[in-house]
Each structure stands twice: as C-alpha cells, then as structure tokens.
Amino acid sequence: MFEEKRPLFIYCVSPVHVGAGTALGVIDNPIQRERHTDHPVFSGAGLKGAIRHDFWAQAQKNNAVEADLITRVFGPSPEEGGSLHAGAISFSDAQLVAFPVRSIREAFVYTSCPTALARAERTLRLSGCGVNWNVARVPIGKCLLRKESLKSLCSAERRLPLEAFEFEAQEDSNVANIANWLAEQAILDNPAFAFFREKMKQDFVVLSDEDFGYFVRNATVVEPHVRIDDVTGTADDGGLFYTENLPPESLLLALAMASEERTRNEKRQSAKKVIEFLLNGKAGITGVDGRLIQIGGDATTGRGQVVIKSAGGNDHA
C-alpha cells in the first residue's frame, strides 16, 4: 500500500527520446505514446530506472555511506537477489501537460488542451494538491488565452498563428490561473529559469483536444542519424535512420508513490522518509527535486536532459 504521494513535474531542457521500440512510417525510432490519446508519455518503469541509475552513479562517485539505501528503496536488481523484496517506491507514467508550438510571435507558445489539463488536475488532486482549473471545452479552430496575451500573440483580428495554422483567440480568466500555477509549481524558481517562468504565465494557450493532438503527433523533433564506416569514412549501407524526440520546453507530470521499506530490517524507512530520500537525497546522494538528470536514450548525443520539480504533494492540500 502506498502511503505517501508526490507529484513530479518533468521539464525537458533538451530533446528527449524515450523510445517505444516499434517503427511507424518513416520514423525508425518513435517515442512512447499513449494508445488512447496518442500523447507522448514517459513510462513509470523507465523513469524509475533512470533515477535509480542517477542515484547509483552519485553513490559510486561520492563513496556514499548509505548506498545500500538505494537498493532498499528502489528494490534489488536480479544480481542483488531481486526476489528478496520489492522496492518501496513506484512511479506513474509521466503524462503530457504542455507542449511547445512554434509561433511567429514570441518564438513559441506553451500549448495544452482540456483533456491534458483535466488529467493533470486529477493527478494533482490525488496527491493532495488543491487545484481547481475549470477548463471549458474548446471548439476546433479556436483557442483560449489570457487577456494580456491577445495583444502580444495575436493579430488585430484576434487570430493566433501557430505553425502554418491560425486560430480564433478568445480570452479566458481561467487560463491565467492555470498558467500562473504551473509557472510557480512546475518551473524552477532560479535565474536560469526566470525567463521561462514568465513565458509560461504570458504565453500559455489552450487548444481543442483535436488541434492539440495534431501538434503532438506532427510537431515533434525528428532527427536523421547516419552510421559512418570507420574505414571508408562514408555512410554504411542501411546506416541512415530517423529518431523522434519530444521537443525542449515540453512539460510532463508523474506521480511518485512510496510505502514503508519492504525489508525485514528493524530500521526500515517509513514512506515519508522514502519520499524525502527521493526528493532530497542523503549523505553523498543528491535527491531529484530541482535537479537536472538524464532519461531515455541517446545520452551520448546530449539528449534526455530534464529538470524534475516536486509540487509538494500533501503539503499543498
């Protein structure tokens, strides 16, 4: 039974490739997507594995005294006797909250849709965060934004250009409430992210589910990769392939869930201590809250850099 829960926002700093393993169309290495919405998603198992790897790397580098705590919290690997006990922490899949879309004004905007926001609100409420976003349905071809954004983003006719499309813009006070909350809770409060916190507040747009779905399917980063023969210095036959990435500035939300340690150790950690270890670390191991970590594939090409931020969970009830 999970006794503690914390929502974790995941902000992409670089392109991120969390692969599905199944080629579709011209894309050889697509990203993971939900079956029913087709929205990009990070699997909870992959997220847990990436954080565990990060913790172990820190423990080995810093000769952490309590490195065994990683095994007790995340569960032992098969080499360590994986059947001895289960881990004390688990992660839900990270679901998409906001997706960056190119605009001829202000470079890009953060977009979302009623379904994505409703699902995020549900996750936050289940974790104890008191949010009330009240997002109305949005018709196809229209969008909602805050009053102040009508002038900075839209034409005189209140048309918002995104990629090769234009949307009829309508002001909505709820959009400002959502954007302000996300800026405060999902993006780090430090000078490196000051620009993006303010941009989230000002350049946040709610599209229809259908229009948002189009962008998350067709406006991702698709990169060609070529495998070079070491001897000839030319491309190998069949060495050209295409990899899909979630673009930088994308925002996702996952739920970290903890129980008491499942070991028979009399000093086993409580669920609250397990969450504290995840977020804040301990003795030579720095927790994930507010840190840049790498997830997914293509790490050697600089992909997968994300910042994780806890929204506070039950402390915000």
Q: What is the 3-state secondary structure (H, E, C) of 76-104?
A: CCHHHCCCCCCCCEEECCEEEEEEEEEEC
State CA 145 to chain mean position distance.
22
Cβ-based neighbours of 102, under 8 Å, separated by 6 or more: 108, 162, 163, 219
Question: Which residue has tokens 């409420």?
Answer: 125
Q: pTM for the full model?
A: 0.92
pLDDT for position 314: 42
**Distance (Å, rounded) from C-alpha 52 to C-alpha 75?**
10
Cβ-based neighbours of 273, under 8 Å, separated by 6 or more: none
Using CB atoms within 10 Å of the CB of residue 73, give its burial: 0 to 12 exposed, 13 to 18 middle, 19+ buried.
buried
pLDDT for position 21: 58
- Residue 234 CB: number of other CB atoms within 10 A? 10
**Distance (Å, rounded) from C-alpha 155 to C-alpha 127?**
40
Question: Which residue has tokens 């050697």?
Answer: 300
pLDDT in tens, the chain (317 residues): 788 999 999 999 999 999 875 666 778 889 999 999 999 999 999 999 999 999 999 998 988 767 788 988 998 876 665 557 788 899 999 999 999 999 999 999 999 999 999 999 999 999 988 888 888 899 999 999 999 999 899 999 999 999 999 999 999 999 999 999 999 999 999 999 999 999 999 999 999 999 999 999 999 999 887 777 677 666 676 668 888 999 999 999 999 999 998 877 667 889 999 999 999 998 889 999 999 999 998 888 889 999 999 996 444 33
pLDDT for position 233: 65
Question: Which residue has tokens 């997220």?
Answer: 47
